[in-house]
Amino acid sequence: MKLRIEQLHAHLEQTLAPVYLLSGDEILQRDEAADAIRSKAREQGFEEREILYQESGFDGSRLYQASHSLSLFAQRRLLELRCNGGFKFDQAGRQALQDYLAAPPPDCVLLLIGAKLDKGVSASAWYKALDRVGVVIQVWPVDYAALPGWIERRARGRGLRLTRGAAHILAERVEGNLLAASQEIDKLALLCPQGQADEQTVLRVVADSAQYDVYALVDAALAGDAARFVRMLQGLRQAGGATSLVLWALSNEIRSLAQMSWQLGRGMPRDKLYAQFRVWPKRKAAVGAALARLKPAQCWRLLRRAARVDRVIKGQQAGNAWDELLTLGLALAGHHLVVEKDR
């Protein structure tokens, strides 16, 4: 059974499944989900906890021994299997999991925790068996647009009421870093005994904990969100980001846009186009907005501009690399500055 992470609390109030799989790269939410399962297991008498690790050549017999051995301290136990390899097991490991899942021991709860599921795992026999008898929760990062709402809900859970403006400011300051957001909310809850925080309070208290990355930067430009692009580019610059990496990300996206725009002009259906260029569902809106703004000729002009930035980065042409990247990104976002002719 597949659940969204938001459904876990209600699920645990009703029952405790024999097996859980938590996957995803958003560590805060994944770890809190694991804590909720551990707490429920303790309430149900699963007081002993044993941790196993998926390593190269994972020994499936360890899972069998852990689930069938007698304990001097507790009759029920929680088994945690930490999977750092994308839940990829060798043949022996897959068989051990299948055997376990065919008849989960009644005195054990198995919790598998790891990063995002590797491609192909969902088609494996052991995963399908787990989906039948247990619960699968894939933890996804919170979208930027949804982050203020996530912050408001989490603050309410800490007894703190944030104004809408305060939540948006906090979202800007922690850009994508949920752990930093949680820490800042806890700090605000301590410093605001009245249980409320407005925009001025957040500006005064909250540190700039933004977790900027080049992929989110590119998506901001594609979506036409110039203010966010500028803020993120400044964050990368202050954090000592590499200009060559930013240019690579922008150039790669512009090159794909040029090809997609040309294919659209020749009548290719958009769904087929997105499949060919591997545009994932969460990026379709941003890519679609860029395609609506840019024609093939404009994309090629942006690529010539990117070549100029490359020469500046390499010292082959005068200029400031960060300023050039700013101009390139703003042009991609649909905000053109007065630019010298490409040389």
340 lies in some domain:
no
Q: Are residues 222 and 200 in the same domain?
A: no
**pTM given for the model:** 0.64
Domain co-membership, 45 together with 163: no
What CATH number should be reported for the domain holding residue 278?
1.20.272.10
Q: What is the pLDDT of residues 209-267, one digit of tens each?
A: 666 778 889 999 999 999 999 989 988 888 787 898 899 989 989 999 999 999 998 89
pLDDT of res. 55? 66
The verdict on 233 and 186 lying in the same domain is no
Q: Please tell me the distance from the alpha carbon of residue 286 to that of residue 176, in angstroms, as a whole number.
A: 17
The residue among 184, 205, 226 that closes a domain is: 205
State the burial class of residue 87 (Cβ atoms within 10 Å of its Cβ: 0-12, 13-18, 19+): buried
- Classify 105 as helix, strand or coil: coil
pLDDT of the residue at 213: 78
The single-letter code of the amino acid at 254 is I
Q: Which residues contact 249 (CB under 8 A, 6 or more apart)?
A: 214, 215, 217, 218
**In this predicted structure, what is the pLDDT of residue 340?**
44
Q: Answer yes or no: do 57 and 151 share one domain.
A: no
Q: What is the CATH number of the domain that holds 181?
A: 1.10.8.60
Residue 30 sits in a domain whose CATH number is 3.40.50.300
Residue 62 · residue 214 · CB < 8 Å: no
Q: What is the pLDDT of residue 160?
A: 93
Both 61 and 149 in one domain: the answer is no
Instruction: Decide if 254 is inside a domain.
Output: yes
Which parts of the chain have pLDDT scores under 70? 55-62, 64, 66-74, 207-211, 336-343
pLDDT of residue 143: 84
- Tell me if 57 is assigned to some domain: yes
> Is residue 342 domain-resident?
no
Claim to verify: residue 279 and residue 155 sit in the same structural domain = no
> Residue 296 — φ and ψ, nearest 5°?
-50, -45
Query: In terms of residues, how long is the chain?
Result: 343
Domain that includes residue 45, residue range: 2-138
Please indicate, yes or no, if residue 163 is contained in any of the structural domains: yes
State the total domains in the chain.
Answer: 3
176 and 239 assigned to the same domain: no
Inter-residue contact 3 to 137 (CB < 8 Å)? yes
**Backbone phi and psi for residue 109, each to the nearest 5 degrees, phi listed first:** -120, 130
Per-residue confidence (pLDDT) for residue 339, from 0 to 100:
46
Does 19 share its domain with 62?
yes
Of 138, 160, 191, which residue constitutes the final position of a domain?
Answer: 138
Note whether 133 and 260 are same-domain residues: no
Same domain, 163 and 230: no
Both 156 and 87 in a single domain?
Answer: no
Q: Cα–Cα distance between 46 and 79 in angstroms, integer?
A: 10
Last residue of a domain, one of 138, 161, 188: 138
Q: Sheet harboring 135-138: ordered strands across? A: 2-3, 135-138, 19-23, 108-114, 77-83, 48-54
Within a domain: 338? no
337 domain-assigned: no
Within-domain flag for 343? no
| 231 and 292 fall within a common domain | yes
